[in-house]
Structure 1
Amino acid sequence: MKIAMVSEHASPLATVGGADAGGQNVHVAALSRALGARGHEVTVYTRRETTAQPEEVRFAPGVTVVHVPVGPAETMAKDDLLPWMPDFGRWLARRWHATPPDLAHSHFWMSGLATLAAAQDTAVPTVHTFHALGTVKRRHQGPADTSPRERVGTEKLIARQVDAVIATCADEVAELGRMRAPGVRTRIVPCGVDLDAFTPTGPRMDLGPGPVLLAVGRAVPRKGVETTIRALRHVPDATLVVAGGSPGEPEPARLARIAGMYGVADRVRFLGRVARQDVPALMRAVDVVVSVPWYEPFGIVPLEAMACGVPVVASAVGGHLDTVVPGVTGLLVPPRKPAALGRALRELLADPFRRTAYGVAAAGRARSRYGWGRVADQTVAVYTDVLTSRGRSLGMTGACPGTGAA
């Protein structure tokens, strides 16, 4: 199958951890790689950000990244890219007229806009993954939401016009229902985790004596690290390690001030940005991974911790409601409630047997349900349904999709 993967701002080649480089980059990279490994031909279209970038880069077996030359050849915030999406769509249409894919899978709403424009001109079937919904962001961030005002209306349009929407969790399906998106065209396929890298066994960083808590993610307020810092008052003797962000970014400095205000500065360590290949060793070194964002479209961090056999305390939002099983693989707490988080952490740290049991169950759940191979197979099943409904042949370019969960 020839698959066009459209991800306008989130390149699989980007360094994860920047302002607009996070879970979507990981998702597009890992899904494309898994599809390529199953014999499909994947082309990922992302925007060119420097004149030094070649037009095409071989990313993995069966996967090519194409840098689309639209807009200024410079790094731009994703919220500033909307004016360039018509050009992006026209560029895709020209490309697809010459070499049409069997199907296009767009990621994030602006990619969906460009993909639909190109598909209308080329009759290419379309599948879309939102990764985040504007209604949710607006609800939680209010005036701090920098999304273009057209976002919510455009997302409704995309949901109604694509052949299928792939939602990453049940909470997203419910939100799409409130948006009156056609449920019959919505399928749940979760994000995955690299089960070769994130394992219970392997190197561990030396973080000193415990107990040690870990918060990892982009340095933005909505990730809820402030809640964890405030909760430390209720968790005596625990150290919080914060991974993510750089010294020049405002959020780490703000969090350091808050730690000082609450008298826990001596128990908070800021590591800054950690290379992705070092994250498993970091996770294995801690007692509990804490992930308590205000909202989360899916949440890869808890899944990665689970795959490492580390118990998770997470906020009861978004994809956490699907991945973390309370009392089995970890605990769920209300977002933005430091006292509730502190109580959960204090009880869990006081019970090493319980932590061990959670970690074993978490690793088993991650391995049985969330390997990228399994996610790729579920995604191909959606593609196949779309092509069948369009009366298209499957256009396989290699081996049939596998059934492994790796």
Structure 2
Amino acid sequence: MKVDLVSEHASPLAAIGGVDAGGQNVHVAALAAGLAQRGHEVTVHTRRDDASLPERVVLQDGYEVAHVPAGPARELPKDELLRHMPEFASNLRRTWARHAPDLVHAHFWMSGLASVAAAGEIPVLQTFHALGSVKRRHQGDADTSPPNRIELERSLCRSVAHVVATCTDEVFELRRLGLTTDRVSIVPCGVDTAVFTPDGPVAPRGERARLLVLGRLVERKGQDDAVRALRAVPDAELVVVGGPAPDRVDADPEVRRLRGIAAEAGVADRLVFAGSVPRADVPAWVRSADVVLAVPWYEPFGITPLEAMACGRPVVATAVGGLQDSVVDGVTGDLVPPRDPERLGEVLAALLADDDRRAAYGAAGVERARDRYRWSRVVADTDSVYRQVLASRRPVEIAR
């Protein structure tokens, strides 16, 4: 099968940890590699954001990345890319006219718009990764998405062949946009359980208990709640991995904001910013933690808990979005209300004081990550959805 993935802003080649780089980059890269391993011909189409990039790159993982011209060949915030999607679609259309895939799998709503505009009769499957309706609800006036995003996502629900959602909460939101349940399947994001393991190198640490936050430095990720919660665990440090390069941490506005909160809370001496780290070093940082935190205001899915569980580390997460699926409350970790640093602090204090419970959460997390979220299963489940969609579109031969 020839499968083309479209990911307009999240290249599988991009570094992890920038404002617009994160879980989607990891997801697309792992899905493409896994599909190629299963024998499919896979191309990932992403926007050219650097003039020096070659037109196409063939990766050792067996798939190809095509850099599609759309707007200036430089990095742009994803919320500014909508006006460049007609050019993106036009280039896709020309490519697919020469070499049409069997199906297209679009990642993010703007990728879906471009794919539907370019695909003609080629079936398009859609994974949103995040929904504008959820973002608007939680961010309000701070939401920088194009004002018509929700209506455009609603139109995608009508026009794509099928939606691949990543969690049950997303299905509920999609139904509110008018998508019928027979046109959606749930396939979660995954984790590389050969890389994220309980055993392996551990990042340096001192005597203090370590709480770890991993990911982008954006306000909705709830790092400020984690900082305030430190007041309840006076013997612990909070290490934040992600954001700018280590030599640029001090100048970062979000770092400065969080340090200000820490100073007001009296915990500034226990807040550490590691900055962005190479992807290969992430497991060592996860293993160095006593507890891994994932405490966003909202989260479409959230890969950090999967990485923590695969490394055998207990998770404390907010009960939002996909975290409600991945973290089993009282089994692999604890769920807490979002934006409630007092409750977060209480839960962290109790968990840090209970070695046996942390060990039990860690062991259960490893089992859950390997059973439900290993990439081989996620890819196989996605492949199954592809085949079902293609089978439903084939004409039925009538016996005579």
Asked if the contact 1:160/1:182 (under 8 Å) is kept, the reply is no
Change in 2 beyond 3 A, CA 1:132/1:274? same
Distance 1:261 1:389, change over 3 A: same
User: TM-score when scaled to structure 1?
Assistant: 0.95
Name structure 2 gaps, 5 residues minimum: none
TM-superposed CA distance for 1:276, in Å, is 1.2
- The 1-side partners of 2:261 and 2:235 are apart by 18
Matched-pair contact (CA < 8 Å) for 1:39–1:62: no
1:353 matches 2:351? no
- Identical positions, percent: 59
Contact 2:45 2:67 in 1 (8 A): yes
SS at match of 1:66: strand
2:138 corresponds to: 140
Counterpart-to-counterpart distance in 2, 1:177 and 1:62: 36
SS in structure 1 at match of 2:76: coil
- Contact 2:175–2:181 (CA<8 Å) still a contact in 1? yes
Q: Residue 196 of structure 2: SS of its match in structure 1? A: coil
How many residues are paired up? Answer: 391
Amino acid at match of 1:258: I
Q: Distance in 2 between matches of 1:41 and 1:199?
A: 30
CA shift for structure 1 position 348: 0.4
Q: 1:336 aligns with which of 316, 322, 339?
A: 339
Structure 1 residue 392 displacement after superposition: 7.5
2:394 equivalent to 1:391: yes
1:210: how far off? 2.6
Contact 1:3 1:105 in 2 (8 A): yes
Residue 54 of structure 2 aligns with which residue? 54
Return the letter of the residue paired with 1:274: V
Q: Counterparts of 1:80-95 in structure 2 under 5 Å?
A: 80-95=80-95
Q: Is the 2:225–2:339 contact (alpha carbons within 8 Å) kept by the matching residues of 1?
A: yes
The separation in 2 between residues aligned to 1:206 and 1:49, in whole angstroms, is 35
Tell me: CA distance 1:392–1:13, structure 2 relative to 1, closer, same or farther (3 Å).
Answer: farther
Q: Partner of 2:268 in structure 1?
A: 265
SS at match of 2:234: coil
How far the C-alpha of 1:325 sits from its partner, in A, is 0.4
Q: Deviations over 1:115-157 (max 9, x none)?
A: 000123xx11110000000000001111110000111001011
| Aligned match of 2:77 | 77
CA RMSD of aligned residues (A): 1.1
1:243 aligned residue = 241
Indicate whether 1:206 and 2:209 are aligned: no
Which residue matches 1:96?
96
Change beyond 3 A, Cα 1:80–1:392: farther
Task: Write the letter of the residue equivalent to 2:3.
Answer: I
Bigger mean CA offset, 130-139 vs 247-256: 247-256
1:378 aligns with 2:376: no
Q: Which amino acid aligns with 2:95?
A: R
Q: Which amino acid aligns with 2:10?
A: A
What amino acid is aligned across from residue 356 of structure 2 in structure 1?
Answer: F
SS in 1 for 2:144: coil
Q: Quote the residue 2:171 is aligned against.
A: 173
What one-letter code is carried by the residue in structure 1 that aligns with 2:129?
H
Shift of 1:275: 1.5
The Cα of 1:294 is off from its aligned counterpart by: 0.2
Structure 1, gaps ≥5 residues long: 394-406
Structure 2 counterpart SS, 1:203: coil
Name the CA distance, whole Å, in 2 between partners of 1:296 and 1:21: 15
For the residues of structure 1 that align with 2:182 and 2:376, how far apart are their CA atoms?
A: 25
Distance 2:289 2:123 in 1: 45
Looking at structure 2, the residues matched to 26 and 61 of structure 1 have their Cα atoms a distance apart, in angstroms, of 13
Identify the range of structure 1 (204-213 vs 137-146) with the bigger mean alpha-carbon deviation. 204-213
2:59 match: secondary structure: strand
1:116 counterpart residue number: 116
How far did residue 29 of structure 1 move?
Answer: 0.4
Note the alpha carbon deviations across 1:343-387, whole angstroms, 9 max, x for none.
110010000011001000000100011011100110011101110
Quote the offset at 1:160 in angstroms.
1.3
Counterpart residue type for residue 349 of structure 2: R
1:59, distance to aligned residue in structure 2 (A): 2.0
Q: Within 5 A, what are the aligned runs for 1:212-251?
A: 212-246=210-244, 247=249, 248-251=251-254
Q: 1:208 to 1:90 in 2, by over 3 A?
A: same
**SS of the counterpart of 2:67?**
strand
| Deviation larger for 54-63 or 255-264 | 54-63
C-alpha offsets along residues 231-268 of structure 1, whole Å, 9 cap, x if unaligned? 11111211111111122321111101110010000111
- For 2:22 and 2:98, the matched residues in 1 are separated by 32
Distance 1:357 1:70 in 2: 50
